[in-house]
């Protein structure tokens, strides 16, 4: 059997693997078939009609589905439609693969098998890299955000909190981030194999579902713990916040599939905007919830009011809440995207 080598990529139709610098690159099955077709017919422009007949034989799809498939493949390869290195658009006709390709025997030694394929061969659970990467990235982001927030709070004028608040908030942030990231990653693992031509919406829905389930779990544990330990019943968010931020994270992950920095920035911005929208709608995130709990518990030093006074508000007002929510959600999105990208 033949495999194709071009730029830093190796494509094996037999093993259905696309490898970049020794690491497997994920492509959903129909997009993989399209890339194989374009490379096999690289000496000519392949008509859209033939692509539909070869790749979408069992489905009736529109031109927009093909355009989305080509866009995704270009992102995967790091291509630019305005200055194509790999795939050229032929106006009113179709597409052509234009980079030089080397054909060679597909007889890779065992140490050339990408890490993802090796894990699959030994029976690694489906989706494990997603939820582990998501939990790791989200947990580290929450740890960093909580610790930094605690240091700022301890140093804020008029704050009664000591430096000891930093590790406490770091642990809280890390646990919430890990649970949320793991839920989003698990949702993506369920959605991606079934995404087909609607990858963005499938990943958004899957991540929203996973984030929502994780959010409900956090919400239940927080309310139960507060009631059992200190006898305080505070309205704690979780489910809605997990759905909204999880959906934003899934959309960012699906829209920027290759370059790690671009993916992290886009996911961070979308999550930050989602957190901002939630706060404006009256649904606080972790920081706002901690502030509400501190207000309900007499003598608590965890009040975040000094953070509001840093920007001229008498308490944790609307502006400081908005800044806190955007920063908290954006940091989570950045860490989550880095964790998910790291698995590849």
Over range 291-297, report the average pLDDT: 74
3-state secondary structure of 303: coil
Kindly state the helix (H) or strand (E) to which residue 12 belongs, with its residue range: strand 9-12
**Phi, psi values for residue 232, rounded to 5°:** -110, 130
Contacts of 131 (CB under 8 A, 6+ apart): 182, 183, 185, 186, 189
pLDDT above 70 (res 310): yes
Q: Are 272 and 240 in contact (CB under 8 A)?
A: no
Going by their DSSP bridges, the two strands 2-6 and 87-90 should be labelled as unpaired
Which CATH architecture fits 2-121?
Orthogonal Bundle (1.10)
255 in Cβ contact with 333 (< 8 Å):
no
DSSP assigned state of 110 = G
DSSP state of 28: -
What was the pLDDT predicted at 231? 65
Residue 7 phi/psi, 5-degree rounding, is 50, -130
Say yes or no to pLDDT of 112 above 70: no
- Give the H or E element holding residue 5: strand 2-6
Burial classification of residue 128, based on how many CB atoms lie within 10 Å of its CB (0-12 exposed, 13-18 middle, 19 or more buried) = middle
- Across the beta sheet with 102-105, what order do the strands follow? 23-24, 17-20, 9-12, 2-6, 102-105
What's the pLDDT score for residue 113? 47
Per DSSP, what are the bridge partners of residue 89? 95
Q: Are 236 and 222 in contact (CB under 8 A)?
A: yes
Average pLDDT over residues 184-194: 78
Lookup: tokens for 160 = 């009664």
194 — pLDDT class (breaks 50, 70, 90): low
Query: Domain coordinates of the chain in residue numbers?
Result: 2-121, 128-342
CB-based contact 54:32 (threshold 8 Å): no
Distance CA 331, CA 138 (A): 8
Q: Tell me: the pLDDT tens digits for 26-50?
A: 888 889 999 999 999 999 999 999 9
Tokens standing for 223?
A: 């309310």
The enclosing H or E element of 17 equals: strand 17-20
End-to-end CA distance of the chain, in Å?
26
Query: What pLDDT digit, counting tens, does each position of 54-81 carry?
Result: 888 766 677 888 998 999 999 999 998 8
Q: How confident is the model at residue 200, as a pLDDT?
A: 78
In three-state secondary structure terms, 90 is strand
- Range with the largest mean pLDDT of 24-33, 286-295, 334-343: 24-33
Find the angle CA(27)-CA(55)-CA(59) to the nearest 5 degrees: 105
pTM of the model: 0.61
Helix (H/G/I), strand (E/B), else coil: 255: helix
* Residue 118 predicted with pLDDT over 50: no
The pLDDT mean for the chain works out to 81
State both tokens at 87. 């795939």
pLDDT confidence band for 6 (50 / 70 / 90): very high
Cα(324)–Cα(61) distance, integer angstroms: 44
């Amino acid at each position: 059997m033949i495999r194709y080598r071009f730029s830093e990529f190796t494509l094996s139709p037999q093993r259905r693997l696309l490898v970049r610098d020794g690491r497997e690159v994920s492509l959903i099955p129909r997009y993989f078939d399209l890339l194989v077709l374009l490379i096999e017919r690289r000496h000519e422009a392949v008509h859209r009609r033939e692509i539909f007949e070869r790749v979408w034989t069992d489905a009736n799809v529109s031109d927009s589905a093909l355009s989305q498939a080509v866009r995704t493949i270009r992102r995967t390869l790091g291509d630019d439609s305005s200055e194509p290195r790999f795939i050229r658009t032929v106006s009113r006709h179709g597409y052509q693969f234009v980079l030089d390709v080397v054909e060679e025997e597909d007889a890779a030694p065992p140490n050339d098998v990408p890490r993802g394929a090796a894990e699959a061969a030994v029976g690694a659970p489906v989706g494990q890299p997603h939820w582990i990467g998501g939990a790791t990235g989200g947990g580290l982001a929450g740890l960093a955000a909580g610790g930094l927030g605690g240091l700022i709070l301890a140093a804020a004028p008029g704050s009664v909190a000591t430096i000891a608040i930093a590790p406490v908030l770091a642990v809280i942030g890390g646990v919430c981030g890990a649970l949320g990231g793991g839920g989003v990653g698990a949702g993506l693992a369920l959605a991606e194999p079934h995404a087909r031509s609607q990858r963005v919406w499938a990943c958004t829905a899957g991540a929203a579902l996973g984030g929502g389930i994780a959010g409900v779990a956090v919400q239940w544990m927080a309310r139960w713990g507060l009631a059992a330990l200190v006898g305080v019943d505070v309205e704690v968010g979780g489910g809605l916040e997990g759905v909204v931020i999880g959906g934003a994270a899934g959309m960012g992950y699906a829209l920027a599939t290759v370059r790690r920095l671009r993916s992290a920035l886009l996911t961070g911005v979308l999550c930050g905007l989602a957190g901002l929208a939630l706060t404006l709608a009256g649904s606080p995130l972790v920081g706002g919830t901690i502030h509400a709990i501190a207000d309900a518990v007499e003598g608590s030093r965890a009040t975040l009011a000094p953070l509001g006074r840093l920007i001229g508000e008498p308490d944790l007002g609307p502006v400081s809440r908005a800044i806190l929510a955007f920063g908290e959600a954006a940091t989570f999105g950045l860490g989550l995207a880095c964790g998910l990208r790291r698995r590849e």
